Amino acid sequence: MGTESDTYRHAAEILTRGESHRVWSLIVTIFGDLAQAEGERISGSALTRLVGLMGVKPEAMRVALHRLRKDGWIESLRAGRGSLHELTPYGRAQSAEASPRIYDPVRSYPDRWHLLLAGTGEMSGRAQLEAALLTGDYLSIGPQAAMGPGPMPGDTGALMAVETDRWACPDWVRAQVCPPPVLAQYDALHRDFTRLVAMLDADATGLSVPEAAALRLLVVHCWRRLLLRHPDLPAGFFPDGWPGSKCRGLFCSLMARLPSPTLNRLESSLTDPDSVSAALS
Amino acid sequence: MGTESDTYRHAAEILTRGESHRVWSLIVTIFGDLAQAEGERISGSALTRLVGLMGVKPEAMRVALHRLRKDGWIESLRAGRGSLHELTPYGRAQSAEASPRIYDPVRSYPDRWHLLLAGTGEMSGRAQLEAALLTGDYLSIGPQAAMGPGPMPGDTGALMAVETDRWACPDWVRAQVCPPPVLAQYDALHRDFTRLVAMLDADATGLSVPEAAALRLLVVHCWRRLLLRHPDLPAGFFPDGWPGSKCRGLFCSLMARLPSPTLNRLESSLTDPDSVSAALS
């Protein structure tokens, strides 16, 4: 990886910080960003060169692709001497579900939420509360309660249910939604995204097409990975000073500065000898 | 008490059922019903005869009045050879606060309620929740939550607060609000009030003024005593089949059949020789 541009090397360094991204998850990011629509495929060679720019070895990528096929995310087809990879319908659905949370310039949430409450006895909905929490749609609030978006369900069985359009969140709930280590990661991401925007503005033309694509994907991946560390909730659930909205604003600025290439343009740029030499060196 | 009318004796029997009413509480009922307004006083002799009709001995009444004076509910003044009793401003305020709950033909409740939630840690509002419950304005729902009428308070500190205009109550909350023994008392009161209405309709003219007053007061007292066994909540918080609204309807029918006498009329009827003989015999 010795022939990348200085801008790319510095930018990628900021986003990786010596931390190795999980390849499985990185490939999910790549397909979600570049090839989410039905029929969109990425060739094995282009994918190898793209992840190579992010420091991922071909063997690691093959292992990850194998696991993604086993888990039903990715389908691979032989094409001549190479192969083509695409999301399965399941993978597409998962990507589509995650996309608004990642890409929306401003997150919007329902006006109404609901709270489920269990009592202490066996017949007081404990098991139902556990089941609700397992869906991932609820925020656990202490041992007895869970809060979820939208109106309350029609049949709440043994649970007390309360529908609400107004609430106040104390510090202990905010710290549970976004604990200090996650808040620190937000602060770091805010600094990193700020630096990246400045770097790109200072050197707008210094990136090759594959570099711009790789950088975009690293940005999406860092952002997506941090979002997954906490539940999807309005700002009022987060600690004071949480820079979530500012980070989202910077993320959108970076997306505008690093627009997604068409798959054709990316494929041809990655099979262009200069790019290839950069990607494989 | 041998010269009361049959109707009174049967009716009073239904309402007392061998159970002795606490005299202190009975006198609170009497003043709340007959002499709640400022300046309204009941003479010692009229009071003695009135409670005598309910089976209360003069000594028991004197002890109760002494305690009520000590507790700041009642003031007593000497008047010639007798005495006059009246509610203190504190007693009047307490009575006035309880009256709507007792006498309203239909109870109305705020559209908005709020829920307070504590976590498990020390700094998560446990002490605040306990303090809220001590005010008597909240229904405890499991170890972590309490529900109260009206919008949520402005400053909820370490408590999670949720304002609501729609909720669903499971059986375990209903059974907590109105446990089986209280529900059984409601069913019994429903039967008793139904019988009383029928008795009064069958023999509308058979009661003397003091008997009608005493019967009215026994009805109010039984009703008030049962209401105090559970928190003041809308029907949706009570077990299915709870006859609370039906009991309230019957209570209002009884109040209409046993209208409150003016204090003057009551005093003169209780010093009328016939009534006196009835009351003192």
Phi/psi of residue B77, nearest 5 degrees? -125, 145
User: Which chain B residue's Cα is nearest to A122?
Assistant: B172
CA distance A208 to A275: 8
User: Contact, A91 vs A31, CB < 8 A?
Assistant: yes
User: What separation in angstroms does the CA of A124 have from each of A129, A142, A156, B234?
Assistant: 9, 16, 11, 21
Q: Give A134-157 pLDDT, tens digit per residue.
A: 998 899 998 899 999 999 999 999
CA distance B231 to B237: 10
Rg of chain A over Cα atoms, rounded to whole angstroms, equals 22
ipTM: 0.79
Task: Report residue B281's pLDDT band, with 50, 70 and 90 as the boundaries.
Answer: very low
User: What separation in angstroms does the CA of A18 have from each of A13, A15, A54, A212, B209?
Assistant: 7, 9, 11, 20, 95
Enumerate the residues of chain A whose CB falls inside 8 A of the CB of residue B163: 164-167
* Total Cβ atoms within 10 A of residue A24: 17
Q: Is the pLDDT of residue B171 over 80?
A: yes
User: Which chain A residue's Cα is nearest to B124?
Assistant: A172
Enumerate the residues of chain A whose CB falls inside 8 A of the CB of residue B160: 141-142, 145, 167-170, 173
Structure tokens, B254: 């009884």
pLDDT at B278: 42
Q: Give A190-211 pLDDT, tens digit per residue.
A: 999 999 999 999 986 789 999 9
User: What separation in angstroms does the CA of A31 have from each of A27, A71, A85, B30, B249?
Assistant: 6, 15, 9, 80, 68
Indicate the pairing of strand B145-149 with strand B139-141.
antiparallel
pLDDT at A280: 39
Structure tokens, A123: 């017949």
Q: Is the pLDDT of residue A18 over 90?
A: no
DSSP E strands in chain B: the ranges are 42-43, 74-79, 82-87, 113-117, 139-141, 145-149, 160-168
CA distance A246 to B247: 60
Most B CBs within 10 Å, among A129, A163, A164, to test the B interface: A164
User: Contact, A252 vs A197, CB < 8 A?
Assistant: no
Q: Give A104-135 pLDDT, tens digit per residue.
A: 999 999 999 999 999 988 788 999 999 999 99
- Give the closest of A117, A152, A157 to B141, CB-based: A117
Task: Report residue A84's pLDDT band, with 50, 70 and 90 as the boundaries.
Answer: very high
pLDDT at A22: 87
Q: Is the pLDDT of residue B276 over 60?
A: no
CA distance A281 to B242: 81
Contact A119 B172 (CB under 8 A): yes
Task: Report residue A272's pLDDT band, with 50, 70 and 90 as the boundaries.
Answer: low
User: Any chain A CB within 8 A of the CB of B111?
Assistant: no
CA distance A120 to A131: 16
